[in-house]
Amino acid sequence: AQRVTQPEKLLSVFKGAPVELKCNYSYSGSPELFWYVQYSRQRLQLLLRHISRESIKGFTADLNKGETSFHLKKPFAQEEDSAMYYCALKGGGYNKLIFGAGTRLAVHP
């Protein structure tokens, strides 16, 4: 079955601390994975996609097929990073996305 698991509902860190938001997936084919972010009172927006191997707002994510993971990392968290983060897997055709339950990141001053 296709599934995305984000084990942490809430991740609370202090400003300047490293951040790692965990994402594990279950998929039989070659996965396409994404991270979406939702800031307070804003719409969901694409943060990263594994296929482009980019770094956005200091965040990176590496696809590890052996561990079936796509963890999101940032070396030094900022208060403006506080948001809800969703990991998503493209699966089932027609560009359908399967989302994880989300992790709320809270960065404290």
Partner 1 sequence: NAGVTQTPKFQVLKTGQSMTLQCAQDMNHNSMYWYRQDPGMGLRLIYYSASEGTTDKGEVPNGYNVSRLNKREFSLRLESAAPSQTSVYFCASIQESNYGYTFGSGTRLTVV
**Least distance to partner 1, CB of residue 4, Å:** 8
Q: Which residue has the tokens 């939702």?
A: 38
Q: Which residue number, 9 or 67, has a Cβ lying nearer to partner 1? A: 9
Among the listed residues 25, 34, 59, 70, the single contact to partner 1 using CB under 8 A: 34
Among the listed residues 15, 60, 99, 106, the single contact to partner 1 using CB under 8 A: 99
Residue 8 binding partner 1, by CB under 8 A: no
Q: For the beta carbon of residue 45, count every other beta carbon within 10 angstroms.
A: 10
Residue 49 binding partner 1, by CB under 8 A: yes
Q: Taking a C-beta distance cutoff of 8 angstroms, is the pair 25, 33 a contact?
A: yes
